[in-house]
Amino acid sequence: MIRLLRWVGIIALVVTLAVNVKYGDSLSLQWYIAMYFGIALTGWLSSFFYARKAFMQVIWLAELIFYFSWELIKASFVVAHEVLTPTHYMEAGIIAVPLDTKTDLEITIFSSLVSLTPGTLSVDVSADKSHLFVHAMYIEKGDTAALSQELKEGFERRIIRVFE
């Protein structure tokens, strides 16, 4: 997928620069941006016919981005509520999340997304890369299995789909 997107981006950039050389400054910046993304989008859509896996990986990457954005917004409101109210509802703890991710890149992205979400922080990866240790501010009723399952079904499943 990354190779395909790189080539589509390079081709779009070359065509955009060629149009710039031909027409000079007569086109505005918005036209160049629209042209670049139009060519890149056309290249991606044509990949549906010859590289369907790469086509789907882009969709799954978009799904991961939207899911992360939604989780970021939800967690931000929960943490802001915790800060602004006089009572504390925190039940903090460290949990071990079993990893299904295999590569270092997948583990790094998973731990980064967990750390970027307010209320959770990746602490460490086990030596055999089978568990990620996460500090969480909110472990409802001490149910570490539910939080671990939520992280696996949320972030990890989507990351594996993008990189498989």
| All structural domains of the chain | 2-50 (no CATH), 69-163 (3.30.70)
Identity of residue 33:
I
CB 90 within 8 A of CB 82: yes
- What pLDDT was estimated at residue 26? 60
| Direct distance between the N- and C-terminal alpha carbons of the chain, in angstroms, rounded to an integer | 10
pLDDT, tens digit (0-9, with 9 covering 90-100), for 26-77: 666 676 677 777 777 777 777 777 677 777 888 888 899 999 999 999 999 9
